[in-house]
Structure 1
């Protein structure tokens, strides 16, 4: 099975030093490509360099809502220059956030920054990966006023309502699912997933965040993760087979991800667990979903200049 991680952050400082190992391990279990999303002016160059070093890395540049207040006066021109010099890049991560992180950033600023970036994505005819927390109504209205988006808008780690799926779909949205989906009640997740058109479904990890809620023995861990009390007896980034079922820190036995520290790092190889969960919710085989989601990702990332066109 080939899989395409439609949204991750391999440039994150928490895992950057492990990237060669992380990519090799994920590729060994079938992950063929990684859409790596920059979040601010501070990491766009790192994402660009990573894409030059790894054929499997699809770069994306964007200003994430959490970092809107830190933008420089020249941020938008800088962003456009990155696209000029990197034809293989998509747009992202951009978005709106009214959650615990986002409410510290002026919402009108978030709206202005998102509009500029969505318009740029339309102008460049590239897909945009969008973060949305507690602001789906506002996002939908903005997309209606600007849309449709024939190159695609990827609603990353989608946790919006089932009812909004058809409206977003009409505007060109794709729905990307990560381990965060497992935090929803199963009946709500199932109802929402069943509304997503089969040609609009993507899978992602959002690594190093969004660790799936799964048994320890099925998880891949990032080697040297400082949040873990000792090496987990699951699958490290250098191991392709589980060596046990629990992690014992001397006071408790940890048997699934819900008992791990919330800072535990996610590994892109854990996309298999997202695949398993979404396939079970949709009542289709893993193989069917892998093929479907891979082809959808290839389609959305096949814009002019994209690496996917030459893969």
Structure 2
């Protein structure tokens, strides 16, 4: 027997529990969603020169169209369902959504304007779409790199660019190691404001982390006895929760797609954790 699973969508608003709206609103069925990347290429025209000079490209916000079917008994049942749907989705909050098609990949969205009306007059069914606005233009892994396998199958799926037969480790206590970035794009916390946290403890006069794959680096110029928790959060550094960027060279690391060769120097011992969500396009 072939078992066909029923599509589902789960949403999680800020500081709220994750829910399936179809479990809450009677007669509501999720039909699926679709979206496409929104890439803008920018050019500069030079006087007297044919063509245009390519300057830069960037991903812009996208719209995720989630389709629903609502079955109701009568006009009064429809009015109650409309109120529940609008109250749930049109709340001004940033919401995390995931679906059965990509259970380990999420999008952070806000609802756009939509209506819920019968397919024809006096019908007992409505088919409608909610245009969720995705301001980042990205999709993200449900879990961060350092907790990828915490929930077994909930944390990964086919299509996440994960290598077969490779152990992906994001905490290391040796001075030379590899970090795997399964994203579709490089992780760049400076120019693209991507989420990358590097948590380190070290013993020594200073610490430098260098990504030999692309030459980016970060140096902490003060000594530590191995008990301090030093965090490079994007481009900002903290020492035991207190701002400490002044103790650094104001550098940052960029992670290329795939494997990155990282080297730690200047410390006698080092414990480093790379924590970031994988970023996907589409």
Under a length normalisation based on structure 2, what TM-score does the superposition of the two structures give? 0.26
TM-score scaled by structure 1? 0.24
Higher helix content, 1 or 2: 1
Structure richer in strand, relative to its length: 2
